Structures are given as structure tokens and as C-alpha cells.
Amino acid sequence: APAPPPPPSPAAAREGGRSGGGWMEGVKVLDLCNVIAGPTIGTMLARFGAKVTKVDSPRPTYSPEITVLYGLAANAGKRSVLLDVSPAEAAGRAAFEALVARVDVVVYNGTSDALERLGITPAELHRMNPNVVLSRFDAYGGPNEGKGERADHISYDDNLQAALGIMERFGGGLGRVEEHAHVGTIDVAAGVAGALAT
């Protein structure tokens, strides 16, 4: 069997998908994720050499401070486009469908209700591109995967740190004030794992 390709050089990794090179050279990825964990997947894929295009809503529903503080790190190496992808916006939807038709991978996150409302379901994405690989990312697994009673819940780094006991340990133990591990520990670790799974 032929030897696997070498990892990208540090320079290529810094430039991400824009410069090519790496394990995923030639692979086109559409990143529909928001906040930190999901976009980290796209950034890692760009570091592996993929050409990643990030789609953002012109009217984001999450905190703008997240975009300012973490946006550069979570979206490094990507091309970017602002699009309203909802079915009611004909021009934005047409542009979105054209993008999906041209890529190899779509990475997306969000609750099942939100994705249904936006028409971003596996059936719809496969209608646009029957060969596209889908990588859906969420906290508890969507209802279609049958992953328990919290499958339709939204979650962020903070409440997962609390649920897992990280805040208690980071804050000094039981009976003391809980404290958030200031770096998005869960977000970043989950994003790296998501990229490897994709």
C-alpha cells in the first residue's frame, strides 16, 4: 500500500485551506456552524488543507462579542459569505443551494427545530447534492439519532462544564464558588474531535 501523505508544513497549516496542501487538499467544505465548537471543525479541516467556505447569517442570533473575541481563532483559514439561507429568501436560498451543490462536505449545527425551519435537513441537503458528506454537530445528538431525553436541547461550553463538574473542580472543590475554565475547553476539544470524525 502507498505511504500516507505527509502532514502539512507549519506554513501551510497557518494559511489553512487558502494555500492548499495537506491531507484534505482538494476537498471543498461548507461550514454552516456558529459560535465556537462547530466553527472549530471547519478551521481544523482548513488546517488539514481543505478549502472551507463559512456561511454566516446577515443577522446572527448569538452574541457579537463571541465573533470579536473568538471569531478569528474559530474561523481562521476560511473564505466567508453572508447569506440568508431561509427558504423565504429566494436569492439567498438559490446562492446557498449552488454552494451546497459544489462542495464535498457540509458541516452544520443547531437544534432540530431551527434546522427544520431553515430547510437544512439531511433530506434537503442530499436533494441539493446527493453525494455530499454531512457532519452535524450538537451537544447531545439529534432526535434522529435517538440520543436520549436532551436531544433537542441547546448547550454551550459553560453549562456543559457545569454539568460535567469542571466548574466545581476549577473553582477549588465542593463548597467553594464554582468558576468557569476561561478557555472554551469543551468547545475546542469537541471541535477537534468533530474535525477528526468528519
Closest CA to 187 of 68, 44, 28: 44
Beta-bridged to residue 106, according to DSSP, are 30, 134
Residue 48 exposure: Cα atoms within 13 Å on the Cβ side = 19
104 within 8 A of 132, measured Cβ to Cβ: yes
Distance CA 151, CA 18 (A): 36
10 within 8 A of 70, measured Cβ to Cβ: no
Distance CA 52, CA 153 (A): 28
Residue 187 known to be catalytic: yes
Distance CA 31, CA 54 (A): 5
DSSP secondary structure string, 151-175? Answer: TT----HHHHHHHHTHHHHHTTSTT
Grid-cell match 463559512, residue found = 54
The three three-digit cell numbers of residue 156, written as one number: 454551550
- Active-site amino acid positions: 187
